[in-house]
């Protein structure tokens, strides 16, 4: 399974960005997928996840109401729409997938990872 993220960049506080994660190879539409982020000098943290087939979602408290995860089953692509961005959202954002259809907030539960995309929010 290969995961390729795109859409990162530099944005001002209050702005928006949309990240994409395209899955290929033996990626399954029943796999749970998630976004994690790693701020400079900090551990990787869960941002949001979506179950296999996109039935349910989960969000970290820090992004609830600002970020939205969605999934296009046909193209095997997951999106992260980020709005009202804050400087503390600055991080490398990673797409992850796991064989299980259920979302988990722990990074070690995920089997496949993308290369990451940088998101920088300027104040």
- The single-letter DSSP state of residue 68 is E
Residue 48: both structure tokens together: 């949001």
Per-residue pLDDT tens digits for 40-70: 999 999 999 999 877 799 999 999 999 999 9
- Residue 73: what pLDDT? 87
Burial 69-101 (b: 16+ CB within 10 A, else e): bebeeeebbbbbebeebeeebbbbbbbbbbeee
Per-residue pLDDT tens digits for 95-104: 999 999 999 9
Q: End-to-end CA distance of the chain, in Å? A: 37
Helix (H, G, I), strand (E, B) or coil at 111: coil
* Distance of alpha carbon 117 from alpha carbon 5, whole angstroms: 6
Parallel, antiparallel, or unpaired for β 2-6 and 57-59? unpaired
- Residue 27: what pLDDT? 64
* Distance of alpha carbon 44 from alpha carbon 52, whole angstroms: 22
């Amino acid at each position: 399974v290969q995961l390729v993220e795109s859409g990162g960049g530099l944005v001002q506080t209050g702005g928006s960005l949309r990240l994409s994660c395209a899955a290929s190879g033996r990626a399954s539409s029943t796999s749970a997928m998630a976004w994690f982020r790693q701020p400079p000098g900090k551990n990787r943290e869960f941002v949001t996840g979506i179950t296999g087939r996109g039935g349910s979602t989960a969000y970290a408290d820090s992004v609830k109401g600002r970020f939205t995860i969605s999934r296009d089953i046909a193209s095997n692509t997951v999106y992260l729409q980020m709005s009202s961005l804050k400087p503390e959202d600055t991080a490398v954002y990673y797409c992850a997938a796991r064989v299980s259809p259920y979302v988990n907030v722990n990074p070690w539960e995920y089997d496949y990872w993308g290369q990451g995309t940088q998101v920088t929010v300027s104040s």
